[in-house]
Amino acid sequence: MRTFCAAMLAIALAATSPAAAGKRVLVLMDERPQMEALASYLRNKGGVEATIVDQKSAPADWSGFDAVVAYIHGALQEPTELAIIKYTKDGGRYVCLHHSISSGKAANRYYFDFLGVRLDGIDKAREPSQPGDHYAWRHDIDLTVVNLNPGHYITTNGVTWPEKTAYRSGTGPERERPAFTLKDAEVYMNVPFTDGHEKTVLLGFKYLDDRNGALYMQDSEGWVKRAGKGWIVYLQMGHTTHEFEHPAVAQMVLNAIAWTPEGTR
C-alpha cells in the first residue's frame, strides 16, 4: 500500500512541476507566515522541500540546497549578505522576493552592486514621487502585474494571466499585455538598474498613485540575472500571506526554483 501511495504521489508531482520535484530550498526570512504559505505551495504543487530559518539560525553550509529564497524585511546582516553572494556566484540559484530589495538594505556594502540596482532618495521613500524621481513605496494599493516576457518559463509554466492592460515598456510603444491585479499589495517605485543590459526582464508593474496622479509603468517587477556561475531571480510580489496563496504568484516562485537556463541543460 505504501508503495502504491508513493507511486501516486510521484505521478501527482510529475503532473504539476516535474522539474522541481525533489529539490531542496533554504528560505531565509524574518516574517514566517508568508513563507509558511509559500512553502506549502512549493511542497504540494512542486514536491519541493523548504527549510525555513531566520538569519541567526541559517546553516553554515548551503551547498546541499538547490536554491536559496530570501524574504527579509528588516536588516540584512553582513554574514548573510556575504553568504548569499558567495552561494550564488559559486553556482547557486538566489530567489530574491519582495522587500529583499528595499531601503532597509541600502546600508549593506555589497548587496545592491551584486543585484545591479540602486535606490535614490530613500529618506523620502514615504512621500509621493514621479516616475524616474526618488525611490518610494506604498502598501494597501491595487497593483497590476504585467507579463513582459510571455515566452519565458518563469512567467509561463502553469501561470494564468486573466487580464489585458495597456502598457508601455521603456521607451517602446504602448500595447496590450497579459496581466493580473493584486489587491492590498505593496509597490516599490523607481528602482533603476545599474548593470546596463545584464538583466532579462520578466515582469513590469502598472500603478496609479492617487495622491499625485502619477502613473507608473516600470519594468522592474521581476527579472533574472547571471551572477558568476549562478543566477539571481527577483520577484517583487509577496507583501502578504494572501499574495503567496495567489496561484500565479506562488507558481512563479516555484518556476524560479525549477527553471533551467538556456545552455545549462
**Among the listed residues 249, 149, 238, 134, the one whose alpha carbon sits nearest the alpha carbon of residue 191:** 134
Sort 88 into a burial class: Cβ within 10 Å, 0-12 / 13-18 / 19+. Answer: buried
How confident is the model over 85-129, as pLDDT tens digits? Answer: 999 999 999 999 999 999 999 999 999 999 999 999 999 999 999
Is the model's pLDDT at 245 over the cut of 80? yes
Show the domain range for 253: 24-258
How confident is the model over 131-166, as pLDDT tens digits? Answer: 999 999 999 999 999 999 999 999 999 999 999 999
Helix (H) or strand (E) holding 199: strand 199-209
- Tell me, rounded to whole angstroms, the distance of Cα 88 from its chain centroid: 15
Q: Which residues of 97-123 are buried (b: 16+ CB within 10 A; e: fewer)?
A: bbbbbbbebeebeebbebbbbebeebe
Does 136 reside within a domain?
A: yes
The pLDDT > 70 percentage for the chain reads 92
CA within 13 Å, CB half, 60: 0
CA within 13 Å, CB half, 98: 26
Residues 17/45, Cβ–Cβ less than 8 Å: yes
Q: How many CB atoms lie within 10 A of CB 148?
A: 20
Stretch 55-79: mean pLDDT, rounded?
97
Mean pLDDT of the chain: 93
Does 14 reside within a domain?
A: no
Q: pTM, whole model, 2 decimals?
A: 0.92
* Amino acid 263: pLDDT: 53
Residues 24/64, Cβ–Cβ less than 8 Å: yes
Residue identified by cell 525611490 is 135
Does 264 reside within a domain?
A: no
C-alpha cell at 24: 531542496
How confident is the model over 16-42, as pLDDT tens digits? Answer: 567 888 999 999 999 999 999 999 999
Does 263 reside within a domain?
A: no
Residues 43/49, Cβ–Cβ less than 8 Å: yes
Does 11 reside within a domain?
A: no
Does 246 reside within a domain?
A: yes
* Amino acid 70: pLDDT: 98
Which 3 state secondary structure label does DSSP give 146? Answer: strand
Does 9 reside within a domain?
A: no
**Beta strand residue intervals within 2-160, DSSP E:** 24-29, 49-53, 67-71, 93-97, 136-147
**Among the listed residues 225, 247, 231, 244, the one whose alpha carbon sits nearest the alpha carbon of residue 67:** 231
Stretch 192-202: mean pLDDT, rounded?
96
The CATH number of whichever domain residue 215 belongs to comes to 3.40.50.880
Rounded CA separation 190/216 (Å):
9
Backbone φ and ψ of 231, nearest 5°: -140, 145
Domains: count for the chain: 1
Residue identified by cell 505521478 is 11
Q: How many CB atoms lie within 10 A of CB 264?
A: 9
Kindly list the distances between the CA atom of residue 183 and the CA atoms of 69, 77, 221, 239, in Å, as whole numbers in the listed order: 24, 31, 16, 10
Does 6 reside within a domain?
A: no
